[in-house]
Amino acid sequence: MTITSGASNGTATVNDGGTPNDPTDDTIDYTPTGDYNGPDQITYQICDADGDCETAVVDITVNSVNDVPTTVDDTASVDE
């Protein structure tokens, strides 16, 4: 399995499951770019031993999450 067109808003890698000569257990691992939500897409190709290949597109939706707010200490001064 090979990724022929990678993700625009994240990274996609082929995980061969520890068996590089056996594509039946291959998966694609996808990680979106930090704080990204929205659509993304990956195109991949898989070939058999005879060299026959098929291509497929995976449409991905990255849902938004409620991120934990961050705070910083502030200082202010004002006139009387």
User: Comparing C-alpha atoms, which of 41, 46, 58, 49 is closest to residue 16?
Assistant: 46
Q: Is the pLDDT of residue 67 over 90?
A: no
Residue 13 lies in a domain: yes
Residue 15 lies in a domain: yes
Domain extent for 56: 2-62
Band (pLDDT 50/70/90 cuts) for residue 6 is confident
Residue 58 lies in a domain: yes
pTM attached to this predicted model: 0.72
Q: Give the SS3 label for residue 23.
A: helix
Band (pLDDT 50/70/90 cuts) for residue 23 is confident
Residue 73 lies in a domain: no
Q: Is the pLDDT of residue 19 over 90?
A: no
Residue 26 lies in a domain: yes
pLDDT of residue 42: 96
| Residue 44: both structure tokens together | 């991949």
Strand partners, 28: 14
Q: How many domains does the chain have?
A: 1
Q: Is the pLDDT of residue 44 over 90?
A: yes
